[in-house]
A and B are shown apart, each in its own frame.
Chain A
Amino acid sequence: MAKVTTSILIATALLATAACSKKRPAVIPPAPSGTAPVDPNAGNTGAIVPGSRADFERSVTSNTVNFALDSYDIDGSARAILDSQAAWLAKYPNVTVSLEGHCDERGTREYNLALGDRRANSAKNYLAARGVAAGRISTISYGKERPIALGSDEQSLAQNRRAVTIVLN
């Protein structure tokens, strides 16, 4: 709630400033009664709607699973992450997700498009096996087009070999 309070204070301060710098209008709007005059969206910045993308990303172990070089196998840590995603998706059966498959830069462009598709489908199939209806999961391969780590060192490349679950709002 700290955030909400801050927003309200800033909004009030802005209104006050605006009132000072402008010529006083002929008719003064009625003073708001009860609640502070604030943009309804601004007041919600701190609140996370259950079932939203933000809720998903806060609730699951991670939205991303990683892969070994030129592999699309779901290893132990990836299973734990996907299990947490499946549990959340079970709570919100109307939510659809997109699974993005990504690769590092050590593969050629077209091969990586196919490998990214394999990774996305690998994660999708795991979620489906955990009870998430396959029709709720679309896949998209980005190959090596959208690295998240920009270096060419081993650690960066490992971060880029990934499947990311994105909640579609």
Chain B
Amino acid sequence: MLPKTMLKTLLTVSGAALLAGAATAQTAAPPPSVPQPAPQGGLQAPAPGGAPNGQQGGELVVDVVGGIAAPLGIAVPTMPTSEAVDTPAGRTDVLGAQLSKIITTDLRNSGLFKPLEAGLKPVTVPEVTAPTFEYWTGAGASALVQGYVRATGDGTLTVGCYLYDVTSRNEIARQGFVVPPSDWRRAGHKCADMVYSKLTGEGPYFDSRVVYVSETGPKGRRIKRLAIMDQDGENHRFLTNGQAIALTPRLSPDQRSIVYMSYLNDRPAIYVYDLASGRQKLLVANNDLTFAPRVSPDSRWVLFSMARAGNTDIYRVPLAGGTPQRLTQSTAIDTGGTYSPDGSRIAFESDRSGTQQLYVMNADGSQQQRISFGSGRYATPVWSPRGDLIAYTKIGGSFRIGVMSPAGGNEKLLTDGSQDEGPSWSPNGRVLMFFRSTGGGSGKADLWSVDLTGVNVRRVPTVLDGSDPAWGPLRP
């Protein structure tokens, strides 16, 4: 089992703390042209497990310990606009409705919130900073997210985002986002991130992208294309045309490149795809099979596997290219290397014991030690961005997604599908995306996500079928 504190997302909004926030002194004034940051001394969400002692009454608690979710009732009404104006992203009043939908979907998908389905009322611009708390209490909301949209003279959009505690009638946080029209959805994700992190104490993750392999076609001849999309499946873009099989992409932490494997010219090898230019280049110029690329946390190195004369070992090479440096020396299959968040350690899989198992070593390849000892095989380790867990694929008849401590032990299986493979962490280390294959003749696979409770399992929408998801970092 995981330590309880790790899974516990405790939300405490105490009246006393809110009063100290003083932000509630505002009366029904129109929103400022650009919302000011929440005043210092405003409520800080407690650290996980660090709930104030002895506070019983008046607390809002989101408690997901043991996988029994008690999602928080939250209202996200349509964001009004003072003047409906046409923009390249659409009319501002339409955008207001869509933004509240983006925020609603993000919060619902986290499994920690229960957005109001009915009883949402229209909100006026002055009401954004002076909510009608009586109404929202009656509607069953414990928290309230309001905001507004405005087209600015310079062609940008301004989105204000306000979070209120309905019970104590206080403002918890506010933020303003100025975005180019092409990035309008990101304002919604940023707002949802503010709400999520304020109320749960966890890091944000909604404003992030996923690179993955888009699949279609019959099982014997799947067409596999490199693709990128927002975490919620929107803004989807194909990056390769499907003529060559594309596999196992990873977004570099600096979000400038994608490393992935391609069968271009029938020479399976790792390529570095530059997102700005759309150009790609071979990572290692030789005839050997190179695969399983992972970028180091500082975006300077690529950890990868290379097969030479039938033997696969782990190497690293500068992302810019250079001479590979060998890190493992065994005659076994050593692959799936993944860096710890500080770059000092590497987890990988090896069948040197006879079957696939998980190992850790220093970044220079020294001090290799096995960490998985359960029954069955273990594959595709991924180090959590929080550093506290390693996710993996557990093979024991079926494929399932699990997590364990980097020192070994504390194993927990999170999914129960028969063919779940290849987990990838959300930027805050609380959610895993993976792919689930359908057995039999279809060859179909889809993207799914599961949180650390194992309860909140859901399919991630994709244009076609999908596999090999890699969740990128939070966008700046």
Hey, which chain A residues are within 8 Å of B437, CB to CB?
105
Query: B421 interface residue, CB < 8 Å from A?
Result: yes
Chain A stretch 103-121: residues in CB contact (< 8 A) with chain B: 105-111, 113-115, 117-118, 120-121
Contact B266 A140, beta carbon cutoff 8 Å: yes
Query: B459 interface residue, CB < 8 Å from A?
Result: no
Q: Given A108-B421, A109-B421, A147-B220, do A117 and B247 touch, yes or no (CB 8 Å)? A: no
Q: Given A105-B437, A108-B422, A147-B219, do A141 and B399 touch, yes or no (CB 8 Å)? A: no
Tell me which of A105, A107, A141, A146 contacts B307 (CB under 8 A). Answer: A141
Tell me which of B220, B247, B268 contacts A150 (CB under 8 A). Answer: B220
Contact B310 A118, beta carbon cutoff 8 Å: yes
Contact B395 A117, beta carbon cutoff 8 Å: no
Contact A108 B395, beta carbon cutoff 8 Å: yes
Tell me which of A105, A125, A139, A146 contacts B221 (CB under 8 A). Answer: A146
Query: B384 interface residue, CB < 8 Å from A?
Result: no
Bound Cα distance A108, B422 (Å): 8
Contact A121 B309, beta carbon cutoff 8 Å: yes
Size class of the B contact interface (CB-based, 8 Å): 35 or more
Size class of the A contact interface (CB-based, 8 Å): 20 to 34
Query: A151 interface residue, CB < 8 Å from B?
Result: yes
Hey, which chain A residues are within 8 Å of B399, CB to CB?
108
Hey, which chain B residues are within 8 Å of A106, CB to CB?
395
> How near does chain A come to B417, taking the closest CB pair, in angstroms?
14
Interface centre among A109, A118, A151 (most CB of B within 10 A): A109
Residue on A with the closest CB to B245? Answer: A145
Could you say which of B17-25, B204-212, B316-324, B439-447 contacts chain A? Answer: B439-447
Hey, which chain A residues are within 8 Å of B310, CB to CB?
72, 117-118, 120-122, 125
Bound Cα distance A81, B245 (Å): 30
> How near does chain B come to A98, taking the closest CB pair, in angstroms?
8
Bound Cα distance A142, B437 (Å): 18
Q: Given A121-B310, A122-B310, A146-B221, do A111 and B333 touch, yes or no (CB 8 Å)? A: yes
Chain A stretch 129-149: residues in CB contact (< 8 A) with chain B: 139-141, 145-148
User: Given contacts A109-B422, A110-B379, A114-B307, could you give 8 more A-B pairs where the C-beta distance is less than 8 Å?
Assistant: A110-B248, A110-B335, A113-B247, A113-B305, A114-B333, A115-B333, A146-B220, A151-B440
Interface of A toward B, CB cutoff 8 Å: 70, 72, 105-111, 113-115, 117-118, 120-122, 125, 139-141, 145-148, 150-152
* 5 A-B interface contacts by CB (under 8 A): A107-B395, A109-B247, A110-B305, A145-B224, A146-B220
